[in-house]
Structure 1
Amino acid sequence: MHILHSVLWVVVTGLTSLISPALASPGDDLMAFHDCLYQCEQISCHRNPYHIVQREFRDELTRPDSNYEWKYYNGHWHFMEMPLPWYLRALLWDCESNCDYQCQRVITAERRKRDQEILQFHGKWPFWRIGGIQEVASVIFSLGNLYVNYIGFKKVWSAMKMANSTTLKWQYANVIAMSAITVMAWTCSTIFHIRDFEITEHLDYYFAGLTVLAGFHTLGARLFNLHKPDNWHWRLFFTTLCVAAYSAHIYRLVTDWSYTYNMQANITIGVIQNCFLFGVCYNLYSKYYYEEVGPNEKTVNLSHLHYINFRRIILPSFFSRSAKLYSLYPLLLCTIVSLGMSLEIFDFPPIFFDLVDAHSLWHLVTIFPAWLGWFDWMIWDINENICTELIEEEKKKNE
């Protein structure tokens, strides 16, 4: 489910980013890596055959009174010829950044031959670049998340157009805004994994934080029934508060970027947001529970069957039994996302031709909850629960 995912996403990436600048990546400190960078940049970028000069003037350059700093040269290191291919230049690779990538791969290959530990460089694993894309698997799985959330966005949009109540449309607008923001967040994630620049990293964080706050707003409005006409002043206050909080958050990051602050802010909002979600599920479960065991001995509510896609729901034989059980479905989706987070905690070097790591598999896991009925559940909740409450309140007013 993309709401919980966005929280855990920010937490994990925040922790990673917090630790990385403090400890640096061990690969960055390797002498062989620095020698490789110097060799590649001098020969490929500056066309300076320093190794030939060193060989021809060895005696003069190594005299005790010489100030020349002797540079290591490895004839087995081979680098891409200049100019770079068009597809690399199109993705803003230059000679220096290309040398950095090539040396990561060269040093990693040598360490593998010696059965040494694979190290990270600049906070990332030395992935195999394909077509200029730095993290191919993460890009593919981010696009998968983008696709399923876009399909969900269209589904909610179609449901909103069919709603015949202004109040229902307001709640649908909340969900649509949250879904649109999530689509934008996955777009930024895709771009960031294609090419890691400061601006792509920051946009990735900005929209991840906005996704957290959008979920906080949507679930808070649902839990406290801000969709009701009588609560319009609280609705306005809550929305204004969220907009102001995010504006202050962005201002804080723009003026003084801090991984620590970003992590703390998003964790705080994320924890509260997920408490809202559990509160919504608990209230719905209680409602349907008392309907089934109440004095009127009502039949089991099966209204949710009109919204379930049996080919895209987990345990259909269980959750199709009653609306009471279906009200808990988001908690299962939360569990899936939480288990997926363990992939980030137990990080490991890339596998499958150096394309797939724990972070990319985390993105793979988060595709499924959005695909397996999260949007169907929200549409059911609005049409069958919010709508029912509004009808009942209207009847009470007319009595």
Structure 2
Amino acid sequence: MHWKQLNCMTDCRYYCMMQREEERRLGGLSPVQYHGKCPFKRVSVFQEPLSAALSALNLLMHFTDWLSFFLLVKYRLPLRPQTKRMYYEYTGLWHIYAILSMNAWIWSSLFHTRDIDVTEKLDYSSVVVVLGYSLIVTLLQIFNVKEGPARVMVAAPILVFVTTHILYLNFYDLDYGWNLKVCVAMGVIQIVAGVTRHTS
């Protein structure tokens, strides 16, 4: 299947969905989801044009923020005189976070442009990676973990969990409900850890 061409199955799904929704609208019924998705009208090759545009805008914002952070760290912040290393120990971690976030927004843009199996899996997987990595960075900063071996001890269980979850989604069951619960749980842990640390 070429990127801009729609294959027979997706065409059939789309036109059947739109026909069914028109029948529902004429019957005074509200829209329903098809194949786990809301019925959106295509615009050219864009399956969900607004979502694709907003994802691309998020990608642009993450890129400009990362670029400004990079320029700040590289050219404006002083280095430690003895080691010539930065005063802020988490700089490298934030660069990785920026790259992972930009990757997630790329796949989100592509997924909302063309919802096919590979873009869906990469979109969901990259979001889980960003949330897992964000949880790691949050815990490292909250507990002021600066040494390499200690960082590995904090990161290893989360990396194992995230990897297992991604493998589950991609090779066993792409369960939206379970994925949502996992993502919300990782987000709540970050918030609770941050609030607990800052209020103590």
Taking structure 1 as the reference length, what is the TM-score of the superposition?
Answer: 0.44
Question: Per-residue displacement from partner, 1:350-381 (whole Å, max 9, x unpaired)?
Answer: xxxxxxxxxxxxxxxxxxxxxxxxxxxxxxxx
Task: String of CA shifts for 1:141-190, please: whole Å, max 9, x gaps.
Answer: 11111111111111221222144143535401111211211111111111
Distance 1:268 1:213 in 2: 10
Matched, 1:191 2:71: no
Q: Please, which of 226, 229, 233 is the counterpart of residue 149 of structure 2?
A: 233
- 3-state DSSP class of the match of 1:220? helix
1:355-366 alignment, distance < 5 Å: none
Q: Which has the higher contact order (CA 8 A, sep 6+)?
A: 1
1:130 corresponds, among 17, 26, 43, to 43
Q: 1:107 to 1:244 in 2, by over 3 A?
A: closer
Deviations 1:214-236 (A, max 9, x none): 11111111111113xxx443123
RMSD, aligned CA: 2.5
Change (3 A) 1:110 1:158: same
2:185 is matched with which residue? 268
| Conservation of the 8 A alpha-carbon contact between 2:121 and 2:170 | no
Task: Answer whether contact 2:62 2:98 (CA < 8 A) is retained.
Answer: yes
**DSSP 3-state at the match of 1:196:** coil
Q: Percent identity?
A: 23
Native 8 Å contact 1:222 1:280 kept in 2: no
Q: Which entry has the higher C-alpha Rg, 1 or 2?
A: 1
**Shift in CA distance, 90/241, structure 1 to aligned 2, threshold 3 Å:** closer
Task: Report what 2:165 is aligned to.
Answer: 249
Structure 1 counterpart of 2:63, one-letter code: Y
Q: What SS does the corresponding residue of 2:32 show, helix, strand or coil? A: coil
Runs of at least 5 residues in structure 2 that lack an aligned partner in the other structure: none
Q: Which residue of 1 aligns with 2:90?
A: 171
Match of 1:278 in 2: 195
Q: 1:250 to 1:97 in 2, by over 3 A?
A: closer
- The residue number in structure 2 matching 1:202 is 121
TM-score after normalising by structure 2:
0.82
CA distance in 2, matches of 1:114, 1:121: 18
Match of 1:154 among 67, 72, 77: 67
2:6 maps to which residue?
Answer: 93
The structure-2 alpha-carbon separation of the partners of 1:137 and 1:245, relative to structure 1 and needing over 3 Å to count, comes to same
Counterpart position of 1:61: none
Name the count of aligned residue pairs: 193
**Is the contact made by 1:133 and 1:195 (CA closer than 8 Å) also made in structure 2?**
yes
Q: CA-to-partner distance for each residue in 1:5-47, whole Å, 9 max, x for gaps?
A: xxxxxxxxxxxxxxxxxxxxxxxxxxxxxxxxxxxxxxxxxxx
Cα distance, 1:261 vs. partner? 4.4
SS at match of 2:36: coil
Query: Alpha-carbon deviations, 1:60-85, whole Å to 9, x = none?
Result: xxxxxxxxxxxxxxxxxxxxxxxxxx
Give the one of 2, 15, 25 matched to 1:102. Answer: 15
Contact 1:188 1:200 in 2 (8 A): yes
How far apart, CA to CA, are the structure 2 residues paired with 1:212 and 1:252? 16
Q: Determine if contact 1:160/1:169 at 8 Å carries over to the other structure.
A: no
